[in-house]
Amino acid sequence: MFLYEKLATDLYDLEVEINKPADFDEFWNKTKEIAKEKLEFSLEEVAYPLKARVFKVTLLGYGDTKIYGWYLLPLNETKKYPLGLFFHGYRGYASSPSSFANYLLNDFAVLAFDLRGQVGASGDGGYGGGHVPGWITQGLDNPYDSYYQRLIVDALRMVDLAVSLPEVDAKRIMVKGGSQGGGLSLATAALSDDVSLCIAGVPNMCYTEYGVLHSSSSLREIMEYLKLYPEKAPAFFNTLSYFDNVNLAPLIKCPVLVSVGMQDPVCLPKTVFAAYNRIQAPKEICVYPFSSHDGGGELFQKTAMEFAIKHLNP
């Protein structure tokens, strides 16, 4: 056996201990109640050079913040479709309708939003206290005032929106994303009984405390803040533990596909396996020994499509 073939050998048995707050279940019950308080959205069909029906969608997210995105439908109007809800990576946006053409060609409906406050059009604001450039340190000393809670409330409302759409088969809802989007996919699958399938490429939000100490990317924002205010570390890491997929993964009930790049300095292999190993639902992981944060790139995207078709039968 070559050395590269052994890179993940020990990680399949990895078990980590992280803080799980005493009110973890209470927090999530309250958060899910917030998500269910309202479902308000609007759709506007627009012209777009794509053989699909294209809608601009506006959803009221946490705190009545307007969240903007796309709703896309194949042209066949004689059936109900499985739907893919796509979450983008950190500092990203929902991209263009043509980015999802491969799913439309395979008879999936698509929802994709600009996540709050990031590069796209969706807004955010109104946190107590300061933060370093970026979004994830906003409100991080209080789980009930954190960016992460707002992000997940938005995601749960996106699932509720998907279920309500008349063209969509509510029993075939998939969540999919990479990096931040992969972590959000795992968390949404854990917290919503309406998610039927989860595809998480190189997921963030996994073994987050370790990531803060070792990652080379977005979690460095937390490190930069704590350089200035080290006394806030206990509160920050306590808040992060509510949203860590190591704690959320056991709640997932649907099939899950995960990817990991063994050279990834952003979503480190140890963090991905820490959460993956806690999933009790049917699961598969694609290990790419030579990949970094691309998590297998097009090789994984092909596998993801095959996984989606196998389970959701479009």
Residue 42 host element (H or E)? strand 41-46
> For residue 103, what are the contacts with CB-CB under 8 A and spacing of at least 6?
84, 110, 305, 308
Helix, strand, coil % in the chain, rounded to nearest 5: 40, 20, 40
Residue 277: name the closest of 3, 10, 4 by CA: 10
Mark whether 293 is an active-site residue. yes
Catalytic residue among 185, 264, 291, 294: 264
Among 122, 146, 179, 259, which one carries the catalytic annotation?
Answer: 179
DSSP string of 212-240? HHH-SSTTHHHHHHHHH-GGGHHHHHHHH
- Which of these is catalytic: 95, 131, 292, 293? 293
Active site residue 88: no
Give the residue ranges of DSSP H helices in the chain: 24-35, 101-105, 147-164, 180-191, 208-214, 220-228, 233-243, 245-248, 269-276, 297-312
Which residues are designated catalytic? 179, 264, 293
